[in-house]
Amino acid sequence: MKIATWNVNSVRQRQHLILDWLERQQPDVLMMQEIKCETDQFPADAFKEAGYDCAIVGQKSYNGVATLVKGGFEVTSDHLPGFDHPVARYVEIRTQKLTLGNLYLPNGNSGGEEGYATKLAFFDALTARAQQFLQTDTDFILAGDYNVCPTPEDCAPGALGPDDALVRPQSRAAYRRMLWLGLTDALRALHPSGTAYTFWDYQAGAWPRDSGLRIDHALLSPRVAERLETAWPDKAERALERPSDHVPLVVTLRDDAQATA
């Protein structure tokens, strides 16, 4: 099973790049963030033609998430339970015996301390959601744009100041708290060290200088982690014409031994 997450920075601007990528990679699931459109503006027909059905939670101008799925699925939530802000930053589906949460965590650099508090509040609710799944023995993946560089190795030297919301100690602690629940960072489980950036700023020649960040992550519940086969950021996508500033993070899982036994 092949699952990807990608902050596309406007699905309408990126539609053809996304369709080309789907054609090449053929994932079973693609979780997209920052679709930047209302639900009824989402180009669902084009993705349908490519073989994908969509779970869409859009809003005007900003944010917005959508999950593309091959095969049957059901939407289990169109918002993050416990996060009481009317923003389109979470959609959750169930397919192939997995619950897949697609998240766009607040950046936390705008809106002063209140804006930063919103980021931590989202983390709290996401942690509670994960605990709920663990308690109910639900296999799950929580993937998306976490807007956190978990360790210094995940932030190119000089790319961000020490007070940036992506690297503040509380942000990193909030991310670690999810790992401490027993979740697995798919990329780091297979590639424990080294750079594995998923984002390069449009500004200041960040891409040619390889001044990137690892901020897009896939966290796996214990039984799903047992099936982890590969995890890689599709860096080549950043070099194409008019790309998103993020690249897809791709995770593949071996077949469920329980299902095939």
Partner DNA sequence: ATGCCTTAATGTTTAAGA
- 88 is a site residue for DNA (CB under 7 A): no
Between 106 and 248, CB nearer to DNA: 106
| Smallest distance from DNA to CB 112, Å | 9
Distance CA 31, CA 104 (A): 10
- 184 is a site residue for DNA (CB under 7 A): no
Applying CB under 7 A, which part among 30-38, 90-98, 126-134, 168-176 lies near DNA?
A: 30-38
How big is the site for DNA, counted in residues (CB under 7 A)? 34
- 241 is a site residue for DNA (CB under 7 A): no
**SS3 of residue 153 by DSSP:** helix
> 215, 230, 224: which is closest to 147 by C-alpha?
215
Task: Give strand ranges (E) for the chain.
Answer: 2-7, 29-33, 53-57, 65-69, 74-77, 90-95, 98-104, 140-145, 184-185, 199-200, 212-213, 216-220, 228-233, 249-253
**SS3 of residue 174 by DSSP:** helix
- 9 is a site residue for DNA (CB under 7 A): yes
Among the options 52, 90, 104, 197, which is catalytic? 104
Binding region for DNA (CB under 7 A): 7, 9-10, 12-13, 34, 36-38, 60-62, 106-107, 109-111, 115, 145, 147, 161, 163-164, 166, 199, 201-204, 213, 215, 242, 245-246
